[in-house]
Structure formats: C-alpha cells, structure tokens
Amino acid sequence: MFSSRVPGALTPNRLTQVLQRLRAAGAPLIDLTLTNPTTARIEYPESMLDAFADPRSFTYAPAPLGLTEAREAIARDCQRNGIKVAADRVVLTSSTSEAYSLLFKLLCEPTGDAVMVPVPSYPLFEHLTDLDGVRSIPYRLDFHGRWGVDFDTLDGGWTDSVRAVLAVSPNNPTGSMVTDSEMRDLAARCAKRDAALIVDEVFIDYLLSGTVAPMVRTPECLMFRLGGLSKSIGLPQVKLGWIVVEGPEPLVRSALDRLELICDTYLSVSTPVQHAAAKLLAAGTSVRARILERIRTNNRALRQIAAQFRSIEALPCDAGWSAVLRVPATRSEEDLVIALMETAGIVVHPGFFFDFPHEAYLVVSLLPEPAVFEDGIRRVMEMAHA
C-alpha cells in the first residue's frame, strides 16, 4: 500500500486516489507492496504470545536502558549474526524509529546539525530527521552490477554540521549489503570528522543466499547498530527494538551515560515485552525460518520469470523482503504503476518512492504467498515489457 511518508504532494496523492477508488469499487487487486508478515499467511506458533503471561510484569521496576534479562537475551541473539556484544552495551527501545529519534537527540543539536542518509532507501529518514529538527543530507548508492556506496557524493555532501552517517545493511529496498571494506571506510571518515556511524541491520536475518559477511570490529568511531523484533521474528506489533553501542571505550561510556538520561525521560519500553523477550526470540526461530523460505522461494520465481523478458532486469540483491525491477522507461513510473493497478490489478511501488536516481524502477515485496506472487509478477512484467 502506498504510504503517507512518500515525499512530495501531487504524485503520492494521485497514486493513493487511484488505489482507493479501485478498492472502493471492489476491484480484485494483488498487493505486491505487502510488508506486514502478520498478514502474509505466515504460520506463527499459537503459543508464541504466551510469553507475555509472566506475573513479574505486574510489578513496575523502571530501567532506562532496559531490564538486564532482556538486554542479555538480545546480546545472546546477536551472536547468531556474528555480533559479539556485552549486555551492558545494549539499549532497548520500543522500535527502530524510536531508536533513530533517541540517537538524533543524543548526537545532534536541533535546527543546525545534520546526518547523512543513503539513497535509494526507504523514505522514512526525512520524516524522522524533520521531527527532531535535524537536517538530512543524501549520499548516493550507485549500481554497477551491485549497489555500492558512492563516496564522492558522501565526501562532497559532508559539512561541518554532520554529526552522523546512516548506513542501512541490508538496504531497503535494494537488498544490498554494505561490504566490510565500505564499512571500514565509513567508520574511518566518521572517526576523522568526529561523527558517529549508525548501522540499520533490521533485515540482517534475511539473506537470500550465503551467510552474513564479516563486519568491522572495534570501529574507530562511535557506532550504533539497530535491530528489532518487528523483522527478526516477524512481530511488528510487539514493539521492541534495540541499539548496540560499539567503538572506543571513552566514547561508548559517554554515549551510554547520555542515552540513559534520554531513555529515563521517556521510559517507553513496556515491562511485559522485556520479560517476554527471551522466550519470544526462541519461539521466533520458526517464524523467521518460514519468512526466509517464503522470500527465497519468491526471489527464485522472480528471477526465473524475469529471464523470459529481455527488456526487464531483476537487479541482484543480497537480503531483505524487497526486490527491484529495472523496466523500459517508455512511460513514467507513475503512469506505469497506475496502469498496473487499473489494467492488471497489481499494486507495486514506483522507484521514485525510494528516491532512485532516474526512471524506470519498480519495487515489489517478496512476502506474498508464492502462487499469488508469481501471478502478480508475471502480470507486471507482461505489462512493463509491452
């Protein structure tokens, strides 16, 4: 579904209006923008939410950075992806979006300071930075067989007001991973310029092939890794995220002290979800496996179907729930997306939603049921190819 977070005014309204009109008329639509696993017919253990029936939750014992047992559970779980962290370096939040807001408050002065954000990427950062009075400065990801950081745009856009660089790995929607070499270069630039590195890893559990690549250890700069139960166990409604703090010890200790004050001001993470965290992470293993099987199945189908259409390219991706199609630019992305809705009964995202540098790209979700996904993708390619 098209989001109200899309930048601009005219185009999002037009797409949304067409979609609303079709739905009001009862038109059958295949939604290839589905990103909510709880509505994607993924099987969840019926007993999964029994973890909330913990009598300790009747007692409120506020802990600004999170209850020790929950932070320990997160630290243990991080080891699955090769991230070794002490529990006292884990900060709990109610969501990844809140984690960003806390870090912007930690690192930036409003109305003057800035953070650098990658594009293409999900159009959330502009809104999050605006809400905290922080400027966002884009840097490019370029595609040359794979998506990579364009360090020329990073260096060219960097000003004295930059307090942090955001890296999303895996990226949404490109599915690209920041390489270890790129991460080292980002960390070195941040260390040299007294900035922090924020690494969003919410899709790290969903590699489409291979294993998680090594990540820079003991970074030169202050670094924050972000994750959450929304993606890692497919429960966005549970509302538990986290920040892992790494870097030089003096910077880490100072950041944790200041984060404790900020978190103590809000105390937003609920007690029940913290007591439930360890059991949820254990029960979520099967959910994560089912989501991974779903997206890998759909990704294989996508590439098999795309191979039948020479004018369409399914761009390579490493991980995540989305895939990118490069299609002939015979009409605008907006016109194509509207035609797909009105003629083929398919809902997809246009590339401009994610700030792709030029036309024409379409972004689809890999979460729908396989039979529905294959039907929808074939219709997309038949129309985009024509």
Q: What are 178-198's pLDDT values in tens digits?
A: 999 999 999 999 999 999 999
Q: What are 266-307's pLDDT values in tens digits?
A: 999 999 999 999 999 999 999 999 999 999 999 999 999 999
Q: Is residue 247 part of a domain?
A: yes
Q: Is residue 375 part of a domain?
A: yes
Average confidence score pLDDT of the chain? 93
Q: Is residue 370 part of a domain?
A: yes
Q: Is residue 5 part of a domain?
A: no
Q: What is the DSSP string of 227-290?
A: EEHHHHSS-TTT--EEEEEESSHHHHHHHHHHHHHHHHHH--S-HHHHHHHHHHHHHHHHHHHH
Determine the Cα–Cα distance for residues 292 and 37; give it in Å rounded to an integer: 11
Q: Is the entire prediction scored with pTM above 0.85?
A: yes
Same domain, 77 and 221: yes
Q: Is residue 325 part of a domain?
A: yes
Same domain, 58 and 206: yes
Same domain, 247 and 370: no
Same domain, 174 and 313: no
Give me the mean pLDDT over the 164-174 stretch: 97
Same domain, 84 and 224: yes
Same domain, 338 and 264: no
Q: Is residue 16 part of a domain?
A: yes
Domain boundary among 283, 304, 334: 283
Same domain, 254 and 279: yes
Domains identified in the chain, total number: 2
Q: What are 298-335's pLDDT values in tens digits?
A: 999 999 999 999 999 999 999 999 999 999 999 999 99
Structure token pair of residue 103: 């870090």
Q: Is the pLDDT of residue 3 over 90?
A: no
Same domain, 59 and 171: yes
Q: What three-state secondary structure class fits 149?
A: strand
Q: Is residue 108 part of a domain?
A: yes
Q: What are 216-251's pLDDT values in tens digits?
A: 666 899 999 999 999 999 999 999 999 999 999 999
Same domain, 246 and 351: no
Question: Residue 147: what pLDDT?
Answer: 95
Same domain, 307 and 194: no
Question: Residue 357: what pLDDT?
Answer: 87
Q: Is residue 48 part of a domain?
A: no
Domain boundary among 283, 304, 319: 283
Residue 225 in contact with residue 74, Cβ under 8 Å? no
- Report residue 12's pLDDT band, with 50, 70 and 90 as the boundaries: low
Question: Residue 386: what pLDDT?
Answer: 67
Same domain, 107 and 244: yes
Q: What are 45-104's pLDDT values in tens digits?
A: 999 999 999 999 999 999 999 999 999 999 999 999 888 999 999 999 999 999 999 999
User: β-strands 90-93, 114-119: how paired?
Assistant: unpaired
Residue 115: give its domain's CATH number. Answer: 3.40.640.10
| Domain limits for position 306 | 10-43+284-385
- Strands annotated E in the chain: 30-31, 90-93, 114-119, 135-143, 147-149, 162-168, 196-200, 223-228, 241-246, 313-314, 322-326, 346-347, 349-350, 361-365
Question: Residue 209: what pLDDT?
Answer: 82
Q: What are 341-380's pLDDT values in tens digits?
A: 999 999 999 999 999 988 899 999 999 999 999 999 999 9
Structure token pair of residue 60: 């409120």
Same domain, 249 and 141: yes
Residue 325: give its domain's CATH number. Answer: 3.90.1150.10
Domain boundary among 232, 257, 283: 283
